[in-house]
Each structure stands twice: as structure tokens, then as C-alpha cells.
Amino acid sequence: MKNIVEKIKKLKEEKNAIILAHSYQNIEIDEVADFVGDSLYLSQMAKNTNADIIVFAGVYFMAQTAKIISPEKKVLLPNLQAGCLMADMINHEQMVNFKKDYPDTPVVCYINSTAEVKAECDICCTSSNALEIVKSLNTNRVLFIPDANLGKWVEKQLPNTEVITYDGNCPVHNNIQAEEIKKARLKYPNAKILIHPECKPEVSELGDYVGSTSGIIDYVRKSKDKQFVIVTEKGVADRLKRDYPEKEFILIKDDMLCESMKLTTLEEILYSLEHEVNEITLDEEVRRLSSNCIERMLKVSK
């Protein structure tokens, strides 16, 4: 593995390439990544980089996002099978039909969606900035796609705003039940329970903190508490255990795994960078329309 890491680092220098890695990736990917974080952070890094090549250790919609906002760069996805079950829950036709019932209502699109879907939306958001984005629209009603749980969490924070949600979800987070949180509270009475807003509303309301991947990590960094129950994907817990060995982290349950996020390997990163394969391409009209959606988000969340 050490030899592979060294080869990747050498190729990055030779080809003026950077590697962006999501926090749900296998933890060894961090050894070669230039930036590790959540979707908002990685989108910002993709936009601001001077690299010629972006290798995205993540899933398909993330690599698409990088290409949308940096069309002049070559964007590579080491494993093209790395998709997103939530993003697959809505396609372009379903998006168009969903909008028809609510004319003149602004559409907020969660970043976990395809470029074709983003092209039909007014503004993008991530779990880090969803509340900020909806507030920025200054309206009492929005459409929110495709994550119903995140949309309803935002609605609860904004009692004067109706958030009409599409029926999509992240199966990893949606699978958590309120009873599991209550049991964890009894078993670990001194622990802070940190929950991702992709969980069901009845789950989120039981947390000490509800926030994105980066929000959860930042909460731990600032907290004087020593024990935490982590209610999100295992990659977050793995990184917290590595970075804060003096604290204890309990993953809410063992199967908090996004299988697509775990597909990417160091070997695949090396191969894609070496041969510049698995390049992401987009229809220019789709890219242009979806770019409006993302750029508007980035202006709100600088």
C-alpha cells in the first residue's frame, strides 16, 4: 500500500492533479487526498482549485458537480459503479412532473441528485447549508427534492415556511429508528448523540446535535465531552476515532455503511490517474443549466 500511495502522490505532482475525498470513503483514501470533507466543502474546493485534473473519491453525483462548476478541468471518478441510491430516486421526467403541480414555487435541489435534475431546479443545497439556502429565498413555500427527511428537518426550523418534499431518502440514514436512539440514550447516559438530518424527523428530534458530516466533526472538535454516539455513516466515526483518540465514539449500529462510498480503492485511484480514465462528461446545455443551480448556492454559502 505504501508503494501505491507514493505512486499516486508522484503522479499528482506530474499531472497537476488533486484528489477530493468524501468523509464516507474508506479511511486509507485520506493518505492521498488533498481535501477531505462533506459535499459543500468539496464543491468549494473543486471550484477554487488550479489543478488540471480532479480525481473524485466519492460517488457519481459528486464528480458530476465538480465537472459542472469546473468544465475546463478533467474530472475522473475512479469507480464508475459508485452511485447514490437517493439520487437514483428521481430522474429528469419525475422532476418535471413534480414541479408541474406547484407552478411558481422555487425548487431547492439537494446536491445528492444528477446534473439533469439539477438543471430543472432554482438553487442547490447540501446538508451543511440547507437551512441557510431555504431562508435565503425569502418565501413561505418551497419544493425540496429529493430528500424528504432533510426537507422536513428544515421545515421544522422555519415554522413560517412550508417545505413540500419529494419522497426520496438515504437508505442508510432512513433505516435508523427512534427506538434505537432511545436505547442508546439509556445505555450511554453521558454521551452526546450526534445525528445527521437525513434521518427521519422523529429520530433527529432526539439528538443533542443535528448537522451535516462537517457539522458533526466540528461539534466534536469544540466539545469538552468525552463520549459520543454517532448517527451517520461509518466513515465519519472512523475519522473521529483516528483524530480524537482521547474521546470515545459509538456508531449507532454496525451496518451504517454506504456501500457505494466504500467501492473506491487506492488501486483504482492510481489506475484512473495514471491512465486518465473514467472521465466525467456532460451535455453542455445540461451543464450550463445545472451550473446556475450550484453557482447560486455557492454565492449564498461562501
Q: Domain limits of the chain?
A: 2-83+261-281, 87-171, 173-251
Fold of the CATH domain 173-251: Rossmann fold (3.40.50)
Please name which of 23, 26, 30 lies closest in space to residue 5, comparing C-alpha atoms.
30
Residue 1 has pLDDT above 80, yes or no: no
Q: Looking at residue 271, what is its pLDDT? A: 98
Predicted pLDDT at 40:
81
Distance, in Å, from the CA atom of 225 to the CA atom of 245, rounded to the nearest integer, reads: 13
Its sign, for the CA torsion 72, 76, 80, 86, is: negative
pLDDT at position 2 over 90: no
* Packing angle, helices 60-69 and 284-300, rounded to 10: 90
pLDDT for res 302: 73
Instruction: Give residue 208's pLDDT.
Output: 98
56-80 confidence digits (pLDDT tens) = 999 999 999 999 999 999 999 999 9
93-119 pLDDT, tens digit each: 999 999 999 999 999 999 999 999 999
Is the domain 2-83+261-281 a CATH 3.40.50.10800 member?
Answer: yes
Tell me, yes or no, if the two domains 2-83+261-281 and 173-251 fold the same way: yes
pLDDT in tens, 125-177: 999 999 999 999 999 999 999 999 999 999 999 999 999 999 999 999 999 99
pLDDT in tens, 3-21: 999 999 999 999 999 999 9
CATH number for the region 87-171 comes to: 3.40.50.10800
